Amino acid sequence: MRRIGAAVAALVLAGTGLGVAASTASAVPTAAARAAACPTGWGSGAKGGATAGAVPLKDIRTGRHDCFDRMVVDVPGGGSHIGYYVRYVDRLYQDPSGEYIPVSGGAVLDVRVGAPSYAPESGAPTYSGKVGRPLPGVNVSGYSTFRDTRFAGSFEGETQIGLGVRARLPFRVVQLDDRLVIDVAHSWTGSR
């Protein structure tokens, strides 16, 4: 009788183990499923809308995601219609001086946001960026796509930023309430 009980117990444990293994295997996505989960089709062409604005930006930050690296420009009070113009350039030149600002990486995005880095009524700075220097508080070391950031200044209600990326990769720009989001994909194929 003990042998039958032990055999039944062993079968129950084996069945439980198989069920756990099966559920674990289905919870781990395949490479094809992971690739399909990453967005594709963003393209690398220029994207934009109206650019000049009167509400100043307060902060610029970055983050890493599974499929893309993200830059967020915070413009409290800007609503969901913050102007922008983002495009790949061979070299970053400050507007309007034309001064060359070196940006590291295989490609450079010229990011223009319809929000000054100063209070329009007083001229007091609202963002501590210095022309030609990396963005304050932003460290992109270890990112899959981002390589460098440079503040290019503000002129006539528009702030210019240089974003150095690994290569000319697809990107998107999303307007959200009080912020602008720039996502640059890790690859063209949607794989990680």
Do 151 and 71 lie in one domain? The reply is yes
In a domain, 178, yes or no: yes
pLDDT of residue 189: 83
Instruction: Provide the Cα torsion 74, 59, 70, 139; round to 10°.
Output: -170
Query: What distance in Å separates the CA atoms of residue 9 and residue 146, rounded to the nearest whole number?
Result: 55
How many domains is the chain partitioned into structurally? 2
Do 30 and 82 lie in one domain? The reply is no
pLDDT of residue 183: 97
Do 155 and 93 lie in one domain? The reply is yes
Q: Give the global pTM.
A: 0.79
pLDDT of residue 16: 44
Do 161 and 66 lie in one domain? The reply is yes
Over residues 81-119, the pLDDT tens digits come to 899 999 999 999 999 899 999 999 999 999 999 999 999
Query: What distance in Å separates the CA atoms of residue 40 and residue 183, rounded to the nearest whole number?
Result: 12
pLDDT of residue 79: 86
Query: What distance in Å separates the CA atoms of residue 112 and residue 160, rounded to the nearest whole number?
Result: 5
Residues 110, 160: contact at Cβ < 8 Å?
A: yes
pLDDT of residue 54: 79
Do 28 and 84 lie in one domain? The reply is no
Do 20 and 54 lie in one domain? The reply is no
What residues are paired with 181 via a beta bridge? 72, 174
Could you say which residues of the chain have pLDDT below 50? 1-3, 6-27, 29-35
Residue 177's domain comprises 47-185
In a domain, 122, yes or no: yes
Alpha-carbon distances of 127 from 57, 124, 139, 170, rounded to whole Å: 7, 9, 17, 28
In a domain, 190, yes or no: no
**What one-character DSSP code corresponds to residue 66?**
S
